[in-house]
Amino acid sequence: MKKLNIIILCLCVLFFKSANICIASQSRLELMNGSTSNINSVNKATITTEAKTTNTEKINTTDTTTADVGTTDTQSTTTTDTTDAGASVTDTTTETTTDTTTDTTTETTTDMGTTSTDTSTTTTDTSKIDSATEVSVVNAEEIDLGDYLESMAIGEKQLISATVIPTDTTDQTLAYSSSNEEVATINGLGRITAVSVGTTKITVKCGKVKNSFKLQVKKSNDVEVTDIEIGNYEEEMEVDKSQAISATVIPSDATDTTVKYSSSDSEVATVLSTGEVKAKAKGTVVITVKAGDISKEIEITVKVATTKIEVNKSYVVLKPEEEFQLKANALPSDALQTMTYEAEDKEIATVESNGTIHAKSIGTTSILASNGDMSTAITVIVNEIGSSEQTTEENVSIEATSNRVQNISENDAELISKIENNFDDIEVNVKECNVVNKSILKALYETGKTIHILGEGYTLTIKGSDIVNYENELNTNINVEKENNKLTFVINEGKNLPGLITLQLSEGGYKYLYLFNEAKNKYQQLKVKDFSNFDIDTSGKYTLSVDKLNVIPISIIAIIIASVIALGLVITYIVVKKQYWFW
């Protein structure tokens, strides 16, 4: 009977244990079916404790079996079996879920040495999640870099304050990077450190969106060039001519004040590192001046220098109301060929823009032909018998020597004829040509011939190649005065010379040459190699001397002498009358 009771008890325990396992499994199924895909699964823990059966045998005890089984969904259940033989069997099953409250009740009964303990644990059912919460994701659209420096010095730092847009972006994590960390580095907080001179690209990224900027690192304490000032320069140059371009860097304390020059067309003009521009060929060129990041450009036009204005006739003889077609061209052929014409005295003759001369009244005038670089004058003679059909220089000379034209003497006309008819060196006495007028000077200038004017004790030489302005007439009559080893003479009565002239004296032996400076009221010594044959380019009073002259003005000498005398008197007075001053 005792063994049968034990077997029955064991079967009951197994039955209730199986029932509890089924109930727990059913609860877990319901929770899983009630959850959504976006809800994290609820962890469940099931703890099952089985109390082993303890058999206690006592003498003279009554077999008693008590079963108290309580079953609750997702609860803990404890079953205690007691036999009359004093054996106590306890079966405890516990299931725990999230948010569970447990109450425990313990009851103890003592009957004739037999003790029975009944423990019941109740677990509150965990509330089920009926619906899942949906979470929407907001992606970044752009990144605002905020204010930042595009240029830094070595060792400097700056912090990038980047903002993700929109501001409610789900993931606002920023990633920073530098394309060249040898130039600059950037850490995870956006702090940039300039390392060395160079350029790098700083990039800020959030998800698939990124923004970047170019960063330039320079030497520490660099002062940038802000402007370049170009000095005055010639906008037009002639071939083979040079000019210097001056450039000033602003500010003056810029770190790098190096100025670089370049030419857009070295075949037209070249430029050296010093800024010297040399014209090479006809055309237009742009000279670029650069300092730092600043550059300036200037445009220069190179033209071919005019060596001569060539005309079809230098002297024109016309009757009133007659016409003559004047033609002029510049040499060389690639020089500027555009000509303008102007009449000196429009009452005697006028000229059209195409060079047509119209004789008006008897007299002599000049027509000026110019291409802007050089000009030449054409003499127009209007008389009663002149003819526009004259085409040779001989006819012009014949008309001139007839002395029927105003302002030109017979001697002058004959001299001009000699110059025009290829006489190389022409000699004339000062009595025949006491003044070299502009007509003669013009003929010399145009032909390049040389004339020697013979005077008393001297010879004046004028070369056509040395004439600068043929409008300045030259007085050839020189009065030479000799006194006390000195020779004094006046050139051109103080009027401007037409150019360089040469004076040859028949008497020599002089060692010093002086020109009297009227502005300073004193003589100025001139250096020449040959005192009997020297060049003169300035009019005025000249003195040749064997001995060196005192070039200090007499007034200054008088002041010095008076000062010395006064000082001597003062010293004498102090020594004789005021000796006690020194005691």
Which pLDDT score, from 0 to 100, does residue 426 have?
A: 87
C-alpha 304 chain-centroid distance: 32
In a domain, 111, yes or no: yes
Share of the chain above pLDDT 70, in %: 70
Q: Into how many domains does the chain fold?
A: 4
**236 vs 485: CA distance, rounded Å:** 53
- Please, what's the b/e burial string for 524-547 (b: 16 or more CB within 10 A of its CB; e: otherwise)? eeeeeeebeebebeebbbbbbbee
Which pLDDT score, from 0 to 100, does residue 580 have?
A: 54
pLDDT at 325 over 50: yes
pLDDT at 131 over 50: no
55 and 173 belong to one structural domain? no
Mean pLDDT across 338-356: 94
Full domain range(s) for residue 30: 2-123
23 and 60 belong to one structural domain? yes
In a domain, 34, yes or no: yes
In a domain, 56, yes or no: yes
156 and 260 belong to one structural domain? no
Contact, 436 vs 395, CB < 8 A? no
152 and 194 belong to one structural domain? yes
**pLDDT confidence bin for 361, thresholds 50/70/90:** very high
Which pLDDT score, from 0 to 100, does residue 373 have?
A: 84
12 and 119 belong to one structural domain? yes
Q: What is the pLDDT of residues 456-497, one digit of tens each?
A: 889 999 998 899 888 889 999 888 888 888 888 899 887 889
In a domain, 275, yes or no: yes
Which pLDDT score, from 0 to 100, does residue 72 have?
A: 36
184 and 294 belong to one structural domain? no
Contact, 502 vs 460, CB < 8 A? yes
- Whether omega for the bond prior to residue 320 falls within 30 degrees of 0, making it cis, is no
Share of the chain above pLDDT 90, in %: 38
pLDDT at 155 over 60: yes
214 and 233 belong to one structural domain? no
Mean pLDDT across 383-404: 47
**pLDDT confidence bin for 3, thresholds 50/70/90:** low
Mean pLDDT across 352-356: 95
Mean pLDDT across 285-302: 95
154 and 106 belong to one structural domain? no
SS3 573: helix
Looking up tokens 């320079």 gives 218
In a domain, 572, yes or no: no
Lowest-confidence range among 174-178, 357-361, 509-513?
509-513
End residue of a domain, out of 185, 218, 251? 218
For 249, counting Cβ atoms within 10 Å of its Cβ (0-12 exposed, 13-18 middle, 19+ buried), the class is buried
CB within 8 Å of 248: residues ≥ 6 apart:
228, 229, 231
The number of residues making up the chain comes to 583
In a domain, 415, yes or no: no
**pLDDT confidence bin for 551, thresholds 50/70/90:** low
**pLDDT confidence bin for 65, thresholds 50/70/90:** very low
**545 vs 391: CA distance, rounded Å:** 54
Q: What is the pLDDT of residues 259-276, one digit of tens each?
A: 999 999 999 999 999 999
202 and 231 belong to one structural domain? no
Mean pLDDT of the chain: 76
- Quote the pTM value: 0.35
426 and 543 belong to one structural domain? yes
**116 vs 120: CA distance, rounded Å:** 13
C-alpha angle 253-257-262 in degrees, rounded to nearest 5: 155
Q: What is the CATH number of the domain that holds 211?
A: 2.60.40.1080
For 522, counting Cβ atoms within 10 Å of its Cβ (0-12 exposed, 13-18 middle, 19+ buried), the class is middle
SS3 79: strand
Mean pLDDT across 503-507: 87
19 and 110 belong to one structural domain? yes
End residue of a domain, out of 218, 252, 274? 218
In a domain, 565, yes or no: no
Most confident of 121-125, 340-344, 380-384, 423-427: 340-344
Lowest-confidence range among 63-72, 515-524, 535-544, 567-576?
63-72
Mean pLDDT across 280-299: 95
Which pLDDT score, from 0 to 100, does residue 531 have?
A: 79
In a domain, 51, yes or no: yes
**pLDDT confidence bin for 258, thresholds 50/70/90:** very high
233 and 158 belong to one structural domain? no
End residue of a domain, out of 88, 123, 158? 123
